[in-house]
């Protein structure tokens, strides 16, 4: 710590480890300005630097246990997640991994794994079986654990054995809820004006909620709209998908613009400004969106996952004319994903004529 111009305390790394911590903090957007008083500076250090140092210097009690690998992962990998939502998601996975395995010892070799007391593939398989009621979440937790062991082998040199390599993951059944036009009208009627606009955009373009939150005023014109595909990154940032501006889509966006003006800062019209903003003038995120969707669930007395907003994306795919059209609309690389996960509408067929003298031979 050093005091600059009698105004504030600043922190900087002074050796290899702390310089690396400083670099990661800066990449996360954390200012090195620690506070105006020694007390504020100490609190800043305890919040930002102390956890990273603790992870780098494991205590004797955790050396050789999975807690050692978890702490190394937290110090080495978490700061690299730029998006706050992604970081929170992985923090949740780490909490579940820590609760289940942190006190267990990890084997340094496959031969050592055969000895009693070490974490093995059978232990992980049993954990998956115990959590078979949440297969998707449990599988992702173990995939994160497998990533920890890969890093422990190739980057940190702690072990050559990965107990996750031989396990069989839980089968995941794709969601099959199809929102019919009648049910969509019911949900639409229970939704607030802003959510109605979002639903219209989702069911017409197949956009995810994150793509809708990210729409800026400069992304659309009378001829087209460009949506950032938040799950597909490239060298220039996020991949984009261009849609022709139809009359129905324009009506939803025009209505959203009118609603926007009622919120703080809504009269601003820079190309970089967000289309959907809350009453406080901030862009929507998952947390602020939850209150909109919760209102619908409460009015219609829906169960937690009876209908989700993501089902609106599936409706767009299901209502498309063909698998290929749905794949193009949803911007999928592989049509198999479109067919397996998003094409949920039960197809109808016309029965054949009677076989008694009516069919051609």
Three-class DSSP category at 197: helix
Task: State the DSSP H helix or E strand holding residue 2, giving kind and residue range, or none if neither.
Answer: strand 2-4
For residue 349, the number of C-alpha atoms closer than 13 Å in the C-beta half-sphere is 3
Q: Please state the φ and ψ torsions of residue 340, each to the nearest 5 degrees.
A: -75, -40
Q: Are 205 and 253 in contact (CB under 8 A)?
A: no
pLDDT of residue 236: 58
Residues 6+ positions from 302 with CB-CB distance below 8 Å: 296
Looking at per-residue pLDDT, the higher value among 57 and 61 belongs to 61
CATH of domain 181-342: 1.10.443.10
The alpha-helical segments, DSSP class H, found in 277-341 are 286-300, 310-318, 323-330, 335-337
Q: How far apart are CA 108 and CA 247, in angstroms?
A: 63
Three-class DSSP category at 156: coil
Q: Are 173 and 139 in contact (CB under 8 A)?
A: no
Three-class DSSP category at 141: helix
pLDDT in tens, 243-262: 999 999 999 999 999 999 99
User: Taking 80 as the threshold, does the pLDDT of residue 134 lie above it?
Assistant: yes
- Per-chain mean pLDDT for the chain: 89
CA-nearest of 30, 46, 54, 39 to 8 is 39
pLDDT in tens, 80-103: 887 777 888 899 999 999 999 999
pLDDT of residue 229: 86
Q: Are 46 and 78 in contact (CB under 8 A)?
A: no
Share of the chain above pLDDT 90, in %: 57
User: Taking 60 as the threshold, does the pLDDT of residue 292 lie above it?
Assistant: yes
Q: Model-level pTM?
A: 0.67
CA-nearest of 201, 192, 193, 196 to 219 is 201
Residues 6+ positions from 192 with CB-CB distance below 8 Å: 292, 295
Q: How far apart are CA 143 and CA 16, in angstroms?
A: 31
Domain ranges of the chain: 181-342
């Amino acid at each position: 710590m050093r005091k600059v111009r009698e105004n504030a305390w600043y922190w900087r790394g002074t050796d290899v480890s702390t310089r690396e911590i400083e670099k990661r903090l800066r990449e996360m957007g954390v200012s090195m300005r620690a506070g105006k008083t020694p007390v504020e500076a100490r609190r800043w250090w305890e919040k930002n630097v102390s956890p990273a140092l603790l992870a780098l210097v494991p205590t004797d009690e955790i050396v050789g246990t999975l807690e050692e690998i978890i702490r190394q992962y937290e110090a080495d990998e978490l700061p690299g997640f730029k998006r706050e939502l992604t970081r929170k998601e992985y923090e949740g996975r780490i909490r579940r991994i820590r609760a289940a395995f942190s006190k267990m010892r990890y084997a340094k070799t496959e031969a050592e794994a055969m000895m009693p007391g070490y974490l093995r593939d059978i232990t992980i398989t049993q954990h998956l079986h115990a959590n078979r009621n949440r297969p998707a979440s449990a599988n992702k937790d173990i995939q994160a654990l497998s990533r920890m062991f890969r890093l422990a082998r190739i980057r940190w040199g702690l072990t050559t054995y990965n107990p996750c390599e031989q396990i069989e993951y839980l089968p995941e059944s794709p969601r099959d809820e199809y929102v019919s036009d009648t049910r969509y009208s019911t949900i639409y009627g229970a939704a607030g004006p802003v959510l109605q606009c979002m639903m219209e955009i989702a069911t017409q373009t197949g956009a995810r909620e994150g793509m809708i939150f990210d729409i800026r005023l400069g992304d659309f014109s009378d001829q087209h709209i460009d949506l950032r595909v938040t799950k597909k990154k490239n060298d220039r940032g996020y991949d984009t998908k261009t849609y022709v501006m139809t009359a129905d889509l324009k009506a939803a966006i025009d209505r959203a613009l009118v609603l926007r003006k009622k919120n703080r800062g809504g009269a601003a019209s820079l190309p970089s400004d967000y289309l959907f903003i809350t009453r406080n003038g901030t862009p929507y995120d998952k947390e602020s969106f939850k209150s909109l969707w919760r209102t619908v669930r409460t009015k219609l007395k829906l169960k937690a996952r009876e209908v989700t907003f993501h089902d609106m994306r599936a409706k767009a795919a299901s209502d498309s004319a063909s698998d290929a059209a749905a794949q193009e609309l949803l911007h999928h690389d592989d049509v198999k994903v479109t067919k397996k996960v998003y094409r949920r509408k039960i197809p109808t067929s016309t029965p054949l004529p009677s076989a008694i003298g009516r069919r051609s031979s």
